[in-house]
Structure 1
């Protein structure tokens, strides 16, 4: 029988060695640690992920307000969240139940409807459809559950009424309902925003009070309630829909960093008040902004790039690689240089995988043997990568480790030696494919031209023979012609990687 007590005590001592949480506002959940640590904005540090069931977790992402097309700032957020979800599922075997809320009733949607003389429901439906097409083109997995505000009006009304009945909210003369932040002492725990105690209007009691329900205004959509006509406020929507699906507590609640305050702060306050609990979401996941020239990319600043326009220039894999090479919590600076760097890294992996195929099937090599050095390096990378992912999903370190592993394997593949090590080389390639595909990369070649791969192979091989002979004869004119062919192929989105043995090529975009 295995004595698990020492193992449990080591885990417990590690958890207890964490510095004190910020004013003890983050409460460590009861349950089972899964070995992963994630940054928590309330604790202001990495905290252990503890689940009620060690293999099941709930995850809610704030979805878009569907009044306009999504841009690559949104793409960055949802691709990074997709990566984190895939890590939990693929590397830590968590059965993740995912949900996303769609705001299809909002001031901006109503304004767009009026400006275009279109029914607000049609506006919302069209842009939501476009949003899902964009996410599919980026290989972002669709959530298991999609909740739309328009489908949950009664749930929201019941939620609001409960807060009014419990004296946590109040009704104003215009039929609006506000959450009374003075009744909730923990308000501000996500971002330390406290009430000044001075009302900003004749209706609101406190400056930081926020609308749960907006009173009716002529010309706007409305629903009847016991306190009058109106429509939901923004923050109440997610709380009501999440509570409907997941109950009184959720494991992960995610969105962009701009939602931390006031949206997530207000969600936490009203949900804790509704469920009479001290902590509603155990782990808040916030993704950093995508900046352009040091400025947040946003529609209001008119510095956005649409997702279809991005994919005309770069592949979805290239954009995902750029996301993998950055920390999900920090801002990312969009530029052609950043994208070209990500593309080069992606191509390095593709070239390596093609080189492995050539190496393994090279009939000139001798009998296969093992390279203990490469196998040892592979094992070290596997262990280090798992630890990196356990530490707040450090994908950038994983990518760097994989690149170093490629360098080690290439010393065998491209080295001037008769030693032949197909087994460790193939295991290395398989591990790299496994990790990258678990991150959501497809590693598929795409091209808009109609040239077949067979024809490209023929051209590349012919150029290689000509170039090899030219190098032996030191024929500068012929070598220059080979360079011209290489450059023209690159213009046709075919990038050639020259080698002393067999050259390889990949499609670019």
Structure 2
């Protein structure tokens, strides 16, 4: 091991020099990654077996898209290390299944269920809810004041960070006020509904969280059944793992559940005490940051500017009496239990692990005294990861436990930090109802892994557009190869044409060579997946260009196939394709996952073909029109084939098809139907407006021209034999200009009236017919607007 100095060019520490121990005994493969410990991009040195520890979920609630950003992002990086750089990765992830948040959430859910099962009247619930809102508002006001106080005494480095914190707390305060106003506004309707319906209405939109928080503050200590906590954690752990599977995240090599490592954690804490870096106080154990630093160690390597922040330092000390600490920066390794909390026996009394010690102990036990990569969200840098590092270095007596710390960038929802209290919380399951797993993965591949990102309609549209570009590329290539009878098992067919290369082939081959070089260059530069993705898209454009140039000439399909296979290979590495890269091009299909032999594989397609044949035969017997036959064909394309994962499109060279993800095709169909529906609604409204205007015009034309002016008694007083006005309302004779204008209007009215009479003579009920047509159109419009 040698000491390597890395200049810190971050805005916070420009000009400072940070030391970082660079593992140089193993030759780098050219990869450079951004290491939070060095605050710079550095060469990645590791043996063929890379040890990686990732902070897993605290399973107290449903996973959201912020979790997806973290776990999918690091899954992509892991796949690149394994699939592109050919490392073997030993991937360890923890599950925190005992924690303040889990304890609080489990207790609150239990107490809320108990309360609602015994509440006798809605008025009683409303009365208690009033008090709950008052207390919640007061509690949140205190948080705003505390954040402001922290801001006032903070250094300039942390002003921006704390300014955002104040904004978030103020927004939460506003949301509590708005929620209370919402309850007040629908109180009469709630009471009118009564019973369960009234309670469901009352506790909608997050109101139940306010009531549960109040109940927990009053009665939380009475919850003694420890199975309540375990059942809660088990439920959300299972949900998290299912979400990861849905997103295509590879399972970890080792899943470390905290409650299964309590004995390891206790022994780990005891050794830190024995080393002189922790102390026992009131049956709890605290890490001694002063002793640690006086022994020559560095505390808070990742975020030294956060040291002393009461808001951050107390993050893992919430709901816990920590007045026995020797120093405000000290943190709990073991927490003495209170009533209403799960606990384990220890040398210091009944208690449970602190948040930070769990990861240090389990990672040390599974991986050892040196971890190649440790990863997590950027918000975990301090205090969690800095405290992890301190604990492990105290345990081993070393100066560096982790070689590379990777932190994924923060994810915001429409510019705001995701929060249930702000109502911008999107669960993974909700996101997967709108987007496919591949589309979400495209989103993360298309973003720099270590930079902040915003989750919005626009960035998702960009990700989906990239997916469609690749879909179109694969579709065109596969249909070209299919027409030339070149597939994964064909060999001779690819060489039947003239094989001499022309300028087009030389340019194509050069582009492929450039692309492979660019992809390597981008991935070696801190896993630049957006850059690599763009290089692949440039190659796909080159393929389109080559096919266009060779449309009427000698096409060499082997070149096209090689380029498509390379694109597929990289997309497989990114986890964007499930294709078998040895013989398949594209995103892969569901066919691979089916079993049961050739019959079960082809049965759905044969059934669909037989069904189409039956419909055509029936249509022939009924002598259906050409339009009706086309409708049958389109229904087959848009429904039966889509539901089987087949996209069919019409082209100048005939029908083209491709196997595709079913959810993607269904989403495309839904979007097409939505646009068609919107266009139909717009067309109906235009027709209604036009016909309503026709009715209005015809009703105006029905008036006898003589009556047009004579009814305007407030404007005119005398008229001639034709009904033209001659004097104004005061008896004064009209000017020549006014008489001339009235004459023009009279002529228009006479012409309009004559046309009206002619129309009436031919079609006496035409106005009634128009009104009936408008009514029918309005009914169709209403039906479209109300249908789901």
Scaled to the shorter chain, the TM-score interval is 0.7 to 0.9
Three-state SS of the structure 2 residue aligned to 1:98 is strand
1:178 aligns with 2:178: no
1:187 aligns with 2:289: no
Q: Is the contact between residue 368 and residue 422 of structure 1 (CA under 8 Å) also seen in structure 2?
A: no
- Structure 2 residue aligned with 1:107: 100
Distance 2:5 2:18 in 1: 15
- Structure 2 residue aligned with 1:410: 544
Are residues 332 and 260 of structure 1, via their aligned partners in 2, closer, same or farther at CA, if it must alter by over 3 Å?
Answer: same
Are residues 34 and 337 of structure 1, via their aligned partners in 2, closer, same or farther at CA, if it must alter by over 3 Å?
Answer: same
Larger mean CA deviation between 400-409 and 296-305 belongs to: 296-305
Cα deviation 1:369-400 (Å, max 9, x = unaligned): 44121111111111111121111100000110
Shift in Å, 1:195: 4.6
- Structure 2 residue aligned with 1:168: 277
CA RMSD, Structure 1 to Structure 2 (Å): 3.2
Three-state SS of the structure 2 residue aligned to 1:156 is helix
- Structure 1 residue aligned with 2:178: none
- 1:81-230 equivalent positions in 2, closer than 5 A: 81-117=74-110, 119-173=228-282, 175-185=283-293, 186-193=298-305, 195-196=307-308, 202-230=323-351
Distance 1:382 1:391 in 2: 14
1:428 aligns with 2:563: yes
Larger mean CA deviation between 30-39 and 297-306 belongs to: 297-306
Larger mean CA deviation between 310-319 and 368-377 belongs to: 368-377
1:283 aligns with 2:404: yes
Q: Is the contact between residue 358 and residue 502 of structure 1 (CA under 8 Å) also seen in structure 2?
A: no
Three-state SS of the structure 2 residue aligned to 1:42 is coil
One of 45, 58, 66 as aligned partner of 1:65: 58
Three-state SS of the structure 1 residue aligned to 2:480 is helix
Q: Is the contact between residue 7 and residue 17 of structure 2 (CA under 8 Å) also seen in structure 1?
A: no
Aligned residues: 468
Three-state SS of the structure 2 residue aligned to 1:66 is coil
Structure 2: runs of 5+ lacking an equivalent: 10-15, 111-226, 315-321, 486-493, 579-586, 592-602, 613-626, 668-788
Shift in Å, 1:417: 3.4
Distance 2:541 2:606 in 1: 27
One of 399, 416, 433 as aligned partner of 1:312: 433
Are residues 446 and 322 of structure 1, via their aligned partners in 2, closer, same or farther at CA, if it must alter by over 3 Å?
Answer: farther
Shift in Å, 1:197: 11
Q: Is the contact between residue 98 and residue 258 of structure 2 (CA under 8 Å) also seen in structure 1?
A: yes
Highest CA radius of gyration, 1 or 2? 2
Cα deviation 1:77-108 (Å, max 9, x = unaligned): 11111000000001111011011000000111
Question: Normalising to structure 1: TM-score of the pair?
Answer: 0.84
Three-state SS of the structure 2 residue aligned to 1:303 is coil
Shift in Å, 1:38: 0.7
- 1:459-470 equivalent positions in 2, closer than 5 A: none
- Structure 2 residue aligned with 1:399: 533
Distance 1:163 1:438 in 2: 41
Distance 2:397 2:23 in 1: 16
Q: Is the contact between residue 306 and residue 382 of structure 2 (CA under 8 Å) also seen in structure 1?
A: no
Larger mean CA deviation between 357-366 and 234-243 belongs to: 357-366
Q: Is the contact between residue 6 and residue 38 of structure 2 (CA under 8 Å) also seen in structure 1?
A: no
Shift in Å, 1:34: 2.9
Shift in Å, 1:221: 1.2
Distance 1:17 1:454 in 2: 68
Distance 1:306 1:40 in 2: 30
Q: Is the contact between residue 6 and residue 20 of structure 2 (CA under 8 Å) also seen in structure 1?
A: no
- 1:16-95 equivalent positions in 2, closer than 5 A: 19=7, 23-32=17-26, 33-51=28-46, 53=47, 55-95=48-88
One of 361, 367, 387 as aligned partner of 2:497: 367
1:274 aligns with 2:386: no
Distance 2:376 2:307 in 1: 24
Shift in Å, 1:61: 0.7
- 1:232-271 equivalent positions in 2, closer than 5 A: 232-271=353-392
Three-state SS of the structure 1 residue aligned to 2:424 is coil
Distance 2:264 2:4 in 1: 40
Higher helix share: 2
Shift in Å, 1:455: 6.8
Distance 2:383 2:334 in 1: 16
Three-state SS of the structure 2 residue aligned to 1:217 is coil
Q: Is the contact between residue 194 and residue 208 of structure 1 (CA under 8 Å) also seen in structure 2?
A: no
Larger mean CA deviation between 493-502 and 109-118 belongs to: 493-502
Distance 2:540 2:464 in 1: 16
Are residues 38 and 152 of structure 1, via their aligned partners in 2, closer, same or farther at CA, if it must alter by over 3 Å?
Answer: same
Larger mean CA deviation between 492-501 and 349-358 belongs to: 492-501
Are residues 455 and 341 of structure 1, via their aligned partners in 2, closer, same or farther at CA, if it must alter by over 3 Å?
Answer: farther
Larger mean CA deviation between 25-34 and 357-366 belongs to: 357-366
Q: Is the contact between residue 80 and residue 573 of structure 2 (CA under 8 Å) also seen in structure 1?
A: yes
Question: Normalising to structure 2: TM-score of the pair?
Answer: 0.55
Are residues 131 and 453 of structure 1, via their aligned partners in 2, closer, same or farther at CA, if it must alter by over 3 Å?
Answer: farther
Q: Is the contact between residue 4 and residue 21 of structure 2 (CA under 8 Å) also seen in structure 1?
A: no
